[in-house]
Amino acid sequence: MYEFAIAWEWLAFAVRWLHVVTAIAWIGSSFYFVALDLGLTKRDHLPPGAHGEEWQVHGGGFYHIQKYLVAPERMPEHLTWFKWESYSTWLSGFAMLCIVYYGGADLFLVDRHVLDVSATTAIAISLASLALGWVLYDLLCKSPIGKNTWGLMILLYGVLVAMAWGYTQVFTGRAAFLHLGAFTATIMSANVFFIIIPNQKIVVADLIAGRTPDPKLGAQAKQRSLHNNYLTLPVIFFMLSNHYPLAFATAFNWIIAALVFLMGVTIRHWFNTTHARKGKPTWTWLATALLFILIMWLSTVPKLLTGEERAEAAPAFTRFAENAHFPAVKETISTRCIMCHAAEPVFDGIARPPNGVTLESKAEIAARAREIYIQAGRSHAMPPGNVTDMTADERRLISAWFESAVGETR
Given the rule CB under 6 A, which residues bind ligand HEC? 243, 333, 336-337, 339-341, 347, 350, 354-355, 357, 368, 371-372, 375-376, 382-384, 387-388, 390
Nearer to ligand HEC, 333 or 406 (CB): 333
Closest distance between ligand HEC and the C-beta of residue 337, in Å?
3
Q: Distance from first CA to last CA of the chain, Å, rounded?
A: 7
Residue 291: partners with Cβ closer than 8 Å, 6 or more residues away: 259, 262, 263, 266
Confirm if 155 and 140 have CB atoms less than 8 A apart. Answer: yes
Shorter beta-carbon distance to ligand HEC: residue 179 or 368: 368
Amino acid at 392: A
Please tell me the total number of residues recorded for the chain in this structure.
410
Q: Could you tell me the smallest distance in angstroms from the CB atom of residue 115 to ligand HEC?
A: 23
- Say if CB 229 and CB 192 are below 8 A apart: no
In the complex, what is the shortest distance from the CB of residue 368 to ligand HEC, in angstroms, rounded to a whole number? 6
Least distance (Å) from ligand HEC to the CB of residue 131? 29
Q: Which is nearer to ligand HEC, 200 or 253 (CB)?
A: 253
In Å, how far from its chain's centre is CA 276? 29
CB nearer ligand HEC, residue 74 or residue 243: 243
| Cβ(49)–Cβ(68) below 8 Å | yes
- Let me know: does 360 contact 342? Beta carbons within 8 Å: yes
**C-alpha to C-alpha distance for 1 and 36, rounded to whole angstroms:** 53
CA distance 284 to 288: 6
In angstroms, what is the minimal distance from the CB of 323 to ligand HEC? 16
Residue 382 CB, nearest approach to ligand HEC (Å): 3
Q: Which is nearer to ligand HEC, 123 or 390 (CB)?
A: 390
The residue among 291 and 340 lying less far from ligand HEC, judged by its C-beta, is 340
